[in-house]
Every structure is written in structure tokens, then in C-alpha cells.
Structure 1
């Protein structure tokens, strides 16, 4: 069971989505039939073809309730029949795994159905009750199965190796090995119980940050018309994108100067998280908090360091891009508050959903007829919930359960970004669909490290198609700028964050004091390194660490945005250069692989070895080619 939020939504607070330029006017795309933008007040007004068909999961509420009850009963039976017995023989372990899979398929399906139902109609109290019932079911299942992994891990090494040589365990071999892989970092039963009891304290820093961020009040600023407006966390980026440079400067200075007044509170909160990570790593016998965060996901820590090292080598290209931005904006000095403002005017012509569908299908043709047919199935068989209403969940995601097709939630507004979002979520959907068809339950669930590769690959292929079909200089410049900004906000910016995370954890591990001044010095130096001499040395930007929620809410997570982007960029280039052989590699070794092996091996089979610098180098090559093309068009008369 996997719920995939789109990258721009998941990272909304840390990575500004592609900026669309304003001082070069683009030519509107001519649509076959201009349509007014739909405005549905409630779900009943939306035509059925634009609403997902949850009857594919359950024909009735009674059928759903039967599965909820069945899942609870099966979980109790699972505990009764298997607890304390799985280490006695390969047969016992195999039977337990079969029953665990059967139970999970039912409970996952019931849980997903309830939440999908609620997400499109959140004002409906009966659907809220449905999700509450699903949560209780899930909690009961978890309680009855929580013993399972610890008991598998506790099987003596010689015994588990003997079990794995038995043919009956073959379908579950990787899953078992993955469970016991971190056995050396598993503590005694009493120690694990103690850690479980104090584990809620690990989230204290995250909770304090959420409250602190909510309670910080920002001052009034003047908008472009001279009117006093309230600056908030939610509208900050919109003011940073303003065409009026004075508005941008006001918002920027007011925002970070306000955060500076609370710098000691923010620093104490962040330090609590850092120390929690380092203590947890030490207790579990890891060399570092970084290793403790990535190794359980079966990713070597060298992949993290390789990313930082490789991106650092590509920083001269980033500096060159900043010089180009400075030139295109026509400013004497480039400041951090300038980089979000558009430099090519966006085409705001409404794109009807039918046209968006055609654009996506056309863009993803390089993936082959079978891939496109699966996309058509998603469109035609109502896997997608398209339009927004006031009580619908915001953003976009793909979700589903084993044995049922994926579902996509959209809030389609007819923009170019919305078209890209469709391609992105369909990437997740096809990945899930193909993995579930090929793999058993345990091996179908792909890792976070690979999750965003399929989705961003679709975005890259769609971009290639749009650029190929662009008719005017303005359209091309818009698309080139979009791609350059995607590189800046994803490959470079997320790696910048990753470098900061590693640096502050290492400082604490060495026993050095962590405080607001330390964080500002480390962050300011890294930011200066990434943006180069073209960027003015603003005194406010060293406080940006206080604005990034991922530093407080996650543990060495953001690097995966960068690695996924690099991997998909490299794969899209291979598909463009090689055609069918590259597509076959991606399908056979990645899209159908699920979690049947470690993520590095899966991506290597597809054609990208993330343990080396090659995928990053290939991505940098694409960035340089895009930069060359933009500079060429800029110089054309």
C-alpha cells in the first residue's frame, strides 16, 4: 500500500516549482476547441466520467464492511496460529508468510477504499466514520501482527539460512533477507521495548516546530499597488514571484528578519532533532545518523555522499545559470529574492482535460504501445478523479492496494503544470500496476528511493515531446526555463539541503555546540557555494534553515528528491538516444521489479548505477545542453 504525493506537493515548502518567465511573451497554444474552465460547486455536479470508480474495489458498503471484519478476524487468527511457532521449521515460516500476505491484501484494500472515499468528499460525516472504522481496523491488525518481524529476526542465523535454502521459501527470500538484514542493529527484546516506550519523544522537535512555525506572525508589507497586505508563510512565495522587485525585497527581508527574532527557539528545536538522530544511531550501533537513516532502506551511505560530491562538481554550471538569470532579469545585482520571479511570461490559456490527455499520451509514446495502452486504460476506466471541489483533498496523489488497480487524485485547473502532474502521477500508477502484476505481495511494494523515478521520468519525456512540438521562440524559452528551474529546485537545491543536514549532524557527533549562529554559518556558506559569485551576499539567507520543515520532520530524506531526478533524467536521455533497448531495460528491470531487490540493484538493471557519479554526470550534461540552448535563443534576434 503506497500513497505517492507529487514531488512539487511533497516538497512544496522547500522547493519552489518551476518558475515561468515574464519579460519574454509566449504565444498561446491553439486548442482545437476553446472551453471554459469548469467550476463545480459539489461532487454531484461533476460528470461521472471525471470521477474515479471505487466500485472496482467494492460494489457496496456491505462488501467493504465484510472485509473489515474479515481482516480483524484473520489478524486474531494469525496471532493465535503462528506466534511462537515460526522459528520451528521452514514450513511454519512459509505458512505464516502466506497468511500474513492474505491478511494484508484484505486490510490494505479496505483501508485504501475508506480513505479514497473520504478524500473526494471530506464534508461527508458518514465517510469520516468510514475512515475512523478503517483506522480502528488497521490498529487492531497492527496489534495482532506487531510480533511477527521481531520473531523472524530472532531466529538464529544458522536456522534462517537453512530455511532460506528450502524451495518453499523461495517466493519470500528477498523479503526475509531484508527483514534480517539489519539484525546486527536490532537490540534485545527488553531494549526494544524500552525504545518503543520512549519513541514518542523522538517527534518532540517536529511537534514544537509545527507549533512554532504556526505561531510566528509576520508583518504587513505593501503590494505592487501600494496597499498594505499581510505577509504569511502561505503567501510568501507568491510575493517572491512578484514582477515588482520592491515587493519581492520587502517580503524577503520581512520574512527572514522575523524568523531571526525566533532563531534561538528554532535552533533549539532543530538541535533536539539532530541529537535524537545521533543518539538513536549510536544506540543501534551505526557509525552515523546518516547511516542509520539510509541503511535500513537498503541504500549504502556512499550514495548520499556521492550525490553531494557529484553535484558539487557541477556547480560551475549552476553559477553560469545564475549569471544568465541576472542578465535576463536585467539587474545590476542578483539577490536571492530575484531567483523566484518569472523571466518568461507563462501561457495561461486554459487546457481542456481532453487536450491534456492527448498531450500526455503523445508525450509518453516513447515508452511503447503497451505502456500507452495502460495509460489509456487509466483514462477510460475511471482510475482518475479529475476536478476539484471545496471538500476534496488538495494536491495530487496515486494510491491503491495489491490486487486492485491504482487510483489517481487530481485537482485539475487546466495549467501546463497540471498536465505535467497527470504525467507524474501516471508514472507512479504504471509503476505500481506493473509491479503488482509481476510480483507477489511482499515484493510489489517499491522503495521510497525508487518511487519518484518513474514519475519524474514521465515528466521528462513529456517535456521532450512539448519542446519538440514547440513552434515559436517564446514557447521554447518557456520550456527551457521550466527545465532549468526544475534542475535548480530539485537536483541542486535538494542536494544543498542534504549537504546541510549531513554537516550539522557531523558537528554534533564531534561534540561541537549547535546553536543559531552555527546553523547560520553552515547554511550561509553552503548557499554561497551553490549560487556563486553572481549572487549578492544577502544577510537574510543564512536564516533559511529555519523555514525548511523537512529538517525537523524527516531524517535524511530530501536527498532522494535529487537522486530520483538525476536517475530519471539519465533514463530519459537513454530512452531518447537508444530507443527500444533502453525502454525494455526500464520496463523489465525497473517498472515490473517493485521491491524484489535492493533499490540500487533495481535502478542499475534499468541503466543507472546510483552508487557511481555517472547518472549525476548524465543529468549535468542535460542541464548544460539546456543552458546552451537557452543562451543560444537569448542571443538570437
Structure 2
């Protein structure tokens, strides 16, 4: 078995070049000390934000501080993530975190102080040409005003903050620390450990008995805790209702959409349009049943491999080449930046001892983005490369086009650029696949992304909506009630070809996202927007590319929904979701042709 190299043994060309942020540790230390001094200047403005000059000056100071802090913080964390065992960078991240808290405290008076101004003064500031760079910030502060309470009430709510974390914290303890699954028999009759981590691997096992045993064992275990977990989820819903009421929102859903200024129709449209598209998911279930060669399709068959494992080794060099070719429709300007990222060491490529797992794109304004990978020579890693470079180039174009304050894009937009890259790469791979097995392997990979990212996340979003509406209507959320709602949704979504096993009614109890309320819909909207973008780019060419690059350069300079609309994707209408569904239908048709 090969052992991982130590960080010092990794070739420089496969590592990211962090000297582009700070040439050395000494430079970081100097910047850190300078920022501590700069932070002291903030106090000069407290209690004096009563006119455009002072407000302009404090915003400019806030930007200078935040930009410097971001660079210190990101540099420390990137160094830590490349080797989490290194004590120097453990200490550096702690220093950066502490400074982050101190800066937040120092700047915390700015918004409340501006909010305390009379409405007409606030309106005058928004229209003041001297504050043009801060117009969007001031509009956002004004939008918050309706839901901000008095100073005393806000102080009280801040103290309740710790209590409000209790449901999520308790669920985490039950789920991660106390939940113990029984051992199950694998395909060789050997007793093996069932854990959160191994559960999906068991569901992907070609042996159906293994899948069924894992499925039943997991949900029987959750069933034994159903009263406690229902009480935890109910407490989370009650907490949400408390905040919505005291902050004067019409409903919990509207409170959670308010932050990104997302109209309620975006949420309800998603659910309604997916309902009208459920026959497509039912058709995919029928095809899955046929490909698996089973008389009855069960819930534990959803992750079973549909094609014999197609062996496809893709080295990192080949992955870069295919990603670049797949993204050619985005034009030379985009490709030049992509190549710069590949050639100028933006990317930390391979696993090493102590390196953080997974993948991400991160960076600080004023320097290029960085990408962490743990590359394996397979299809999944190639898509990860395309995905993370989508994030990186979104940040690059936003940072290049906009001032610091406007360059940060919202979570609602974050997954769009990354998933657009994946969709374009998939189109390219499918068009050049000559081997029917390879083509089927790709189509299955893509179809399952639609099933898990669009249909499954929308089903989760619908469950959250129903549960909160019932609670807001005064109904109690018993384990029986939660299980009944969840089971009925599974029947509706999976359709007549699926034998919906009773055990699945307990799945609500193992979904941690339900404690980050009304968040999962963003996966489905992001995927739909990206699929719509890629379809427009491939069909229209240059005009669509120009709109898309405009989207990448918009950062967070406007409300997310407006940024997408300007680029040709209107998420308040059903169209982008319908466009995504037409792509899903095309995938199913291609799969059906290959199985005739």
C-alpha cells in the first residue's frame, strides 16, 4: 500500500504558490501588526456617523481593514490546509481567527448607527453622488431597517443566540457521537462495520442483499431515536417561528429568503415546476429498473451502479486538457485566464500527509484565487477540477471588474459558475464518446446528478415548507406526522415504478441540512440556472457567452436574482427549470436508445 508523501516531498509545480499573497512569514507579520494599528482608527467614528463625509470615510476605512484581514486570514488557512499537522500554521490560523473577531467587534457599530438615522436622511444618503460607491450597501441597510429592533431588544436577541444553536448542536451530538449502527454482512458473508461514511458505499454495492441490509439497518437505528429527533427538529422549527415573529416577517420561509432578497415565487416555482416534471423522474425510474434487471425497484436500488464499472484512467495532465477543450465555447478570454490558473500554480493538486480532504476554491481580493484538490486519476476528479475552476474564475472576473465591497457574490449565485463548467464539460465528453459503454457511463453520471441535485433537493425543500406551514398553523410535529409527510413525498416523487419501502419514512431524521433551514433549494436553483446557461451558450454562441461573462463580472453588485436576469436566466419564472428538465429528458432518451 502506497504511503502519502510528506508536504516537503511534493513537487513544487503540483503545489499552489502562496508567495503571490505574502512573499514570506515576515511580510504576514508586518501586515498583521499594521492592521492592529489601523483597527484603532475605527473608534474615532463611533457616535459620529451623522453625515455623508463621515459615512464615506468610515466605509472606506472598513473596506481597507476588511481587505487586509481577508488576505491575512486566507493565507493562514491555506497554509494550514496544505498540512494540518504543521504547528506554525495552526498558531497562525488561531491568530487570524482572533483578529477576525476583534475586527468584527470594532466595526459592529456602523450598521446600527446608520440605521438609527431618520428615513428621509437615509434616503438622501442613498441618492448622494458622493456616496455612489456605497449606494447598494446603503440600500441594503435601509432594507434591513424594517426588521431591526431597538438597541435593547437587539442586545437581548444576541444573548439568545447561543440558545438558538441548541437544536442543531443536539442533533449533531445524537447523529455523530451517539448514533451507533449495527454490523451487517457483506457480499462474502463477513460482518462489517456500518457507519455514516460507509453507508453510501454499501448502497452503491452491486450486491442487492448488501444494499438492502445496510438500508434497513440504518433506518431501524433512526427509528429507535425517532421521538428525540422529532423533538429536536420541532425545536428548530419553533426557534425559526420565534425569530420570524419578533423580526416581523410574514412567515419563516420569507425570513430566510429575505437575506438574499429572493422573491417567494422562486421557491414556490421550483417546487411547482418540478411537480410538472415528475413524469421524467418516473421515466428514469422505469429505465433504472430495466437496466438493473429487477422485477421491483426499491429505494435501496437508487445508488446501485447501472453499468459495469467503466475503467477510465484520466491523469491530471489529461484532465486539464479535456477541461480546457470542454470550456472552449466560453471563448478565448475565459480560456486565457483558465490557462493562467493551470500554469501559474493557483492549484494544489495531490494528496499529501496532513492535507485537508475534499476540494475548494478560495482566495482574497487583490490576489488571484486558489484551488485545493486531492486529485485521483478518475472522472470524478476531472469534474471536480472543472467545478472548482468555475468558482475560481467567477471570483477572478468579479474581483477584476469591481471594487472590494461589490465583488463578493452570494451563496445563491455561488454554485452557478462551477456547475456551468461541469455541464459544458459533460456536453463535450458526450459528443466525443465513441464507445457505447463510455457513453452510458457518462449519461448515468449526469442523470444521477439531476436526480440528486434537482429532484431530491427540491423534495427536501418541499418537506421543509410543509413542516413549517403546519407548525405555523398550530399543528404539532410528532414523529408520526413527520414520517407520514416524508413518506408521501417519496411516493409522489419516485412514482409508480418505485416500490417505496416503509423504512424511508425515517430519512428526515438523518438530514443535517434541515437544521440550516431553507438552504437546500439553492442546490436545485443553482443547478437549473447553470444548465440553462450552458444550453444557451451551446445553442446561441457569442451573445449568450457575452451575457454569461457579464454575470461572472457582476459579483454581488446587485441582488442575485437581478444579476441572473440580466444574464438571461430569470429564476422568478419556471423557464430555467424547464430548460434544465429538457436537458434531463435528452439524457434519458439517449440512455433509452443505448439500451434497446
- TM-score range (shorter-chain normalised) is over 0.9
Select 1:83's aligned residue among 34, 42, 46: 46
Displacement after TM superposition at 1:183 (Å)? 1.0
Map of 1:221-620 to 2, 5 A cutoff? 221-552=184-515, 554-588=516-550, 590-620=551-581
Where does residue 12 of structure 1 map in the other structure?
none
Q: Distance in 2 between matches of 1:229 and 1:147?
A: 56
Q: 1:402 to 1:134 in 2, by over 3 A?
A: same
Local SS of the residue matching 2:83:
coil
Q: Tell me if structure 2 keeps the 8 A contact 1:351–1:414.
A: yes
1:433-472 deviation digits (Å, cap 9, x = unpaired): 1001111111100011111000000000000111111011
Q: Distance in 2 between matches of 1:530 and 1:155?
A: 50
Q: Distance in 2 between matches of 1:363 and 1:506?
A: 44
1:236-266 deviation digits (Å, cap 9, x = unpaired): 0100110100000000001101110010111
Select 2:60's aligned residue among 98, 107, 110: 98
Q: 1:363 to 1:428 in 2, by over 3 A?
A: same
Map of 1:51-62 to 2, 5 A cutoff? 51-62=15-26
Matched, 1:41 2:2: no
Where does residue 162 of structure 1 map in the other structure?
124
Displacement after TM superposition at 1:216 (Å)? 1.0
1:210-250 deviation digits (Å, cap 9, x = unpaired): 11012111111100011011111110010011010000000
Q: 1:448 to 1:122 in 2, by over 3 A?
A: same
Select 1:193's aligned residue among 155, 159, 166: 155
Q: Tell me if structure 2 keeps the 8 A contact 1:322–1:535.
A: yes
Q: Which runs of 4+ in 1 moved over 4 A?
A: none
1:467-495 deviation digits (Å, cap 9, x = unpaired): 11101111111111111101000010000
Displacement after TM superposition at 1:64 (Å)? 0.5
Q: Distance in 2 between matches of 1:153 and 1:473?
A: 62
Q: Tell me if structure 2 keeps the 8 A contact 1:71–1:137.
A: no
Displacement after TM superposition at 1:426 (Å)? 0.5
Displacement after TM superposition at 1:82 (Å)? 1.4
Q: Distance in 2 between matches of 1:526 and 1:68?
A: 53
Q: 1:405 to 1:569 in 2, by over 3 A?
A: same
Q: Distance in 2 between matches of 1:149 and 1:444?
A: 20
Displacement after TM superposition at 1:533 (Å)? 0.8
Q: Distance in 2 between matches of 1:630 and 1:156?
A: 62
Q: Distance in 2 between matches of 1:154 and 1:62?
A: 42
Matched, 1:146 2:130: no
Q: Distance in 2 between matches of 1:60 and 1:612?
A: 50
Q: Distance in 2 between matches of 1:246 and 1:384?
A: 42
1:127-177 deviation digits (Å, cap 9, x = unpaired): 100101111111111111111121222222111211222211111111221
Q: Tell me if structure 1 keeps the 8 A contact 2:315–2:378.
A: no
Displacement after TM superposition at 1:39 (Å)? 6.1
Q: Distance in 1 between matches of 2:184 and 2:240?
A: 39
Displacement after TM superposition at 1:40 (Å)? 3.8
Question: Alpha carbon RMSD of aligned pairs, Å?
Answer: 1.1
Displacement after TM superposition at 1:178 (Å)? 1.4
Where does residue 50 of structure 1 map in the other structure?
14
Displacement after TM superposition at 1:338 (Å)? 0.5
Select 1:130's aligned residue among 62, 67, 92: 92
* Structure 2 unaligned spans of 5+: none
Q: Distance in 2 between matches of 1:73 and 1:630?
A: 63
* Structure 1 unaligned spans of 5+: 1-36
Select 1:181's aligned residue among 143, 155, 171: 143
Q: Distance in 1 between matches of 2:7 and 2:14?
A: 10
Q: TM-score if structure 2 supplies the norm length? A: 0.98
Q: Distance in 2 between matches of 1:324 and 1:347?
A: 19
Q: Tell me if structure 2 keeps the 8 A contact 1:267–1:515.
A: yes
Q: Tell me if structure 2 keeps the 8 A contact 1:295–1:301.
A: no
Q: Tell me if structure 1 keeps the 8 A contact 2:122–2:142.
A: no
Q: Distance in 1 between matches of 2:593 and 2:25?
A: 60
Q: Distance in 2 between matches of 1:202 and 1:415?
A: 42
Matched, 1:211 2:173: yes
Local SS of the residue matching 2:146:
helix
Q: Tell me if structure 1 keeps the 8 A contact 2:7–2:353.
A: no
Q: Distance in 2 between matches of 1:487 and 1:147?
A: 45
Displacement after TM superposition at 1:179 (Å)? 2.2
Q: Distance in 2 between matches of 1:384 and 1:39?
A: 22
Select 2:133's aligned residue among 163, 171, 176: 171
Higher relative contact order (CA 8 A, sep 6+): 1
Q: Tell me if structure 2 keeps the 8 A contact 1:40–1:46.
A: no
Q: Distance in 1 between matches of 2:540 and 2:172?
A: 47
Q: Distance in 1 between matches of 2:555 and 2:304?
A: 39
Question: Which segment is superposed worse, 63-72 or 505-514?
Answer: 63-72
Select 1:71's aligned residue among 30, 35, 43: 35
Question: Which segment is superposed worse, 176-185 or 414-423?
Answer: 176-185
Matched, 1:118 2:85: no
1:528-550 deviation digits (Å, cap 9, x = unpaired): 10000111131100000011110
Local SS of the residue matching 1:611:
coil
Q: How many residues align?
A: 595
Displacement after TM superposition at 1:555 (Å)? 1.7
1:187-206 deviation digits (Å, cap 9, x = unpaired): 11111110001111111011
Q: TM-score if structure 1 supplies the norm length? A: 0.92
